[in-house]
Amino acid sequence: MTARRFRLIRHHDVSGISGTGPVAEGVQFTDGAVALRWYGEYPTTTVWDGIESVVAIHGHGGATEVEWIDPEQGPDPDLRLPPRQSLPPRPWPDLHSAPEPQDPDPLHRDGDSGSRSYGGAPPAGWSSYRVFR
């Protein structure tokens, strides 16, 4: 199998945000992983472990379906990839730690050129909206 393209077709807009018709396009890679690019006012790209996960989250019980653009070509005999089910789960590294309490907004500080440290908990008064916006 080589990478295979698809689109998400939404027949009923459950959320009232994306509309109906084609709402995203994607590719399923040889190992089964999926990259999905959303259309619309705020285009976003997401990565999934497989097409089953995309359908489970965005299918809305049949309101959205996968339309394959490329035919399934079957396994590639030259690739010796282990089945996805046999791979151990691996957690993502902590890529988005909150700023240290002594430096609540490192991107917008005034005039300080000292060293910066990241990775601690947010200050007590911060909400998750402030940290993860």
Domain limits, the chain:
4-70, 95-133
For residue 123, what pLDDT is reported?
A: 60
C-alpha angle with apex 73: 68 to 74, nearest 5 degrees? 115
**C-alpha to C-alpha distance for 133 and 130, rounded to whole angstroms:** 6
What is the dihedral angle through the alpha carbons of 61, 64, 69, 72, rounded to the nearest 10 degrees?
-10
pLDDT at 102 over 90: no
Task: Tell me the whole-structure pTM to 2 decimals.
Answer: 0.58
Record the tokens describing residue 21, joined without a space: 């018709």
pLDDT at 110 over 90: no
Mean pLDDT, residues 35-46: 93
For residue 131, what pLDDT is reported?
A: 47
C-alpha angle with apex 86: 83 to 88, nearest 5 degrees? 130
